[in-house]
Amino acid sequence: MICNSIRATTDCFIDTLKQLVFMQIEALTVLYAGSGGNNHALDYYNETKYPLAVKLGTITPGGADVYSYEEDSMVMDPKLSEHLSHFGINMMIMSKTDKTMTELQIDANIKLGEWSVIQESGHELKLVYGPGYTGLQNLGNSCYMNSVMQVLFALPEFKERYYDTAVDTFKRQTGDPTKDFNTQMCKLARGLLSGDYSKPLPPAEGSTPEGEKEGQKEQEGIRPNMFKTLIGTGHREFSSNRQQDVQEFFLHLLSAIERAEHTSRGTRNVADLFKYQVEEKITCVVSGKVRYSVRPDSILTLPVPMETASNQAEVAAWKEKKAQLMAEKKKINHDEAVRAKVSFSSCLGQYSSSTDIPDFYSTELKTKSPATRIYRFKTFPKYLVVQLAKFAFDENWVPVKFDVEVDVPESLDISSLRGGGIQPGEVELPEESGPAQPEVEIDEGVLSQLAGMGFDIEGCKRAIYHTKNQGIEPAMNWVLEHMGDPDFTDPFVPPGSVKSAGGGADKGGVASEDSIAIVMSLGFTREQAMKALKATDNNVERAADWVFSHMDELQQMEEGEGEEPMEEEQFSDGSGKYSLIAFISHMGTSTMTGHYVCHIKKDGKWIIFNDNKVAESVAPPKDHAYLYFYKREH
C-alpha cells in the first residue's frame, strides 16, 4: 500500500531518511528474527513521529524494504528512487546484501514442523528454469497472490487467453495500461511463461563458483508490482501489505476477470472454467414435500471433521507431552509432533450428508417446521477447486488452525454426487412467500470485529443478520456453525430485499442512494452511475475507476443506444472424474499470517513454487495443503 505518511508529506520521509537510512535498522532486523535490539529506530519514531525506515541491504533496482512505525507494517514508496537519490544513493546500481523481512520470517519458521514439511526443507531440491518456471518475488506478504497466479498461468486456457493474445492486447491499448486489467494480466503472463526472466542469477562479485552447479543458482524472478496494485485497488485488504487468505484472493480474482471480460468482446471468460451449479434440496419433515433450487459456485469447501481422526489417542498423548514441556520451559522438538489423520472420504461425506434446518418456513404448513437440506452437483466444472476448512476458534475464541493431515487423492471420482432434480413420487412445496422479514441493519462495529478475525466479510454479514444484531458472541457462534455452508462467502442480500428482473437477488444487492450520488457527483447521469456500481459490486471507489475506463459504453448510453444484455453464466459439464494438477499449502496459525507455497504438476513431475524459488519437488506434501486444483478427465 502507499502509506498515509507518504501521501501526507514527502518532507517527513526525507527527514527520517537523514536520520535512519545510514543506520543498521536494528528494530527492523529483529522484527522477525527475535534476537533483541536497542530499539533506536522505534525510540526515534516515538520522539519525532517520523515513521519510515529503509533497510539498506535490501535496496535493489526493484525496490527495498520500507517499514512504517505509524502503520506497523511494511509499506511501498512509489518515489523511493527519487528519495534515495537525495542522499546520493542510486538504487539502480544497488544489489541485495541482506535478507528481506519476509525471508527473515520464513527462516525463523523453516525448521518448525509443518514449515519444514511443506517447503521440503529436508531435501536437496533441484532448481529449474525456462518457460513456465519463472518465480515471483515476494512484495511483502504477497505469497498468497504469487501462489494463485502460478497455478492459473499453468493452465493452457489462461496461456491461450493472456499469453497468446498479449501482443495484440498491447497494440490495442489506448488508455492508461497500469489501470487496465487485461493488459496487466497479459504482461504477467509474458513474464511468467516466456522464460525470459527464468535464468540463474550471476555469481556475486568476489565469490568462488568452483564446484557450484549451474542448476543450483537461484533466479531473481519478476516483481508483479503493477498487477498487485491494480488487483488491490478499492479492496481494503488486498490493497495492503498484510497476509491474506488465498481462497478469498482466488474468488476476488475471478470477479475481476468477469468484470474485465464483460467489456471485452470476442474474448473467452476463463473464470467460467471453475464455475459449476449446485443443486440444493430441502425437505419439509412434517409434510414430506420438497423444494429444489440451483445456484452457481466456484469452490467446493469441505469441512474437516477432527472427531473422525484415526489416531486420536496418539494426538492426545502428544498434546499432553507438549503442554508438560511448555510448563517446564523445555525445548519442543517439532519433528516429534503428532498430527491428526483425517480421511478425505470423511470430509466429502460430511459435505454431502443431510443437515437439519430447525426453523424452516414451510409454505405447505404456513408455519415453521423442521427440515433437512442436502447438496449435490448439477454440473461438474472443467477445473474443480477444493478448499479444506482447516480454521476454527478454540475455547478462548482465539483463531486456530487444525494440525491435521488429510489423505487427499490424486484421482477423484465424485460421480455419485450428481443431482438429478425432482424424483418420481416427490411433491414440490408450493411457491408462496414466507412472512415478511423484519429489516435488520448490519452493525458495522460487530462486522469489523468479525472480519478482523479473518472471516469472510459476506459470511459475517449473514451472521449479524441472522442473530439480529445481538452482539459479537452470538454472531461468532453463528459463523462457527455455518462457515462450512457452500453459500457462506456468496454476496449477502437480506431476505425480502429488492430482486433482480430474473427473480433472484442482484449479486451485490441494490446500490444505495449515497453511492449513486457520489458517482453522479463526477458528472455522470443516474443511469450511468447505476451501471458502474452494478459492474463493480457496488464498490464506490472501483465504480469511479470503472466509469473513466468505460467512457465508450457510457457514451452509447447517453446517445440512446442502450446497454448490451448481460451474458448468461456458462457452465461446462462432463464426468465426475478428476485428476489433481496443483495445490496451495499454508504454513502458520492463521490465514492472516504465515506463508503460502504451491506445487504444480508439469510434464509428469511435481514442481514447487516458493515465491522466486522454483524447483523439482521430492516429497509433494499434498496431505498438508489448503487449496486443491483438479482437472476433469473428460
Q: Which three cell numbers stand for residue 281?
A: 434440496
Calculate the CA 149 to chain-centre distance: 11
Nearest to 302 by CA among 570, 488, 450: 488
* Cβ-based burial of 189 (10 A; exposed 0-12, middle 13-18, buried ≥19): buried
Side chain identity at 241, as an amino acid letter?
N
Q: Which three cell numbers stand for residue 101?
A: 523481512
CB count in 10 Å sphere of residue 121: 13
Cross-strand pairs, 75: 66
Return d(Cα 510, Cα 402) in angstroms, integer.
38
Nearest to 369 by CA among 432, 436, 433, 285: 285
- Asked if 409 contacts 343 with a C-beta cutoff of 8 angstroms, the reply is no
* In 225-377, beta strands by DSSP E: 276-284, 290-297, 300-303, 340-342, 355-362, 367-377
- Asked if 616 contacts 125 with a C-beta cutoff of 8 angstroms, the reply is yes
Active-site annotation holds for 595: yes
User: Could you give the angle at the alpha carbon of 515 between the alpha carbons of 509 and 519, nearest 5°?
Assistant: 125
Farthest CA pair distance, the chain: 84
Contacts of 448 (CB under 8 A, 6+ apart): none
Nearest to 412 by CA among 381, 449, 442, 374: 381
Set 3, 143, 186, 347: catalytic member: 143
* Cβ-based burial of 537 (10 A; exposed 0-12, middle 13-18, buried ≥19): middle
For the residues of 528-568, what is the DSSP string, one character each?
Answer: HHHHHHHHTTT-HHHHHHHHHH-HHHHHHHHTT--PPPPPP
- Asked if 142 contacts 76 with a C-beta cutoff of 8 angstroms, the reply is no
Contacts of 196 (CB under 8 A, 6+ apart): 190
Active-site annotation holds for 83: no
Set 586, 595, 599, 624: catalytic member: 595
What is the C-alpha end-to-end distance of the chain, expressed in Å? 43
Nearest to 248 by CA among 510, 599, 571, 596: 596
Catalytic residues: 143, 595
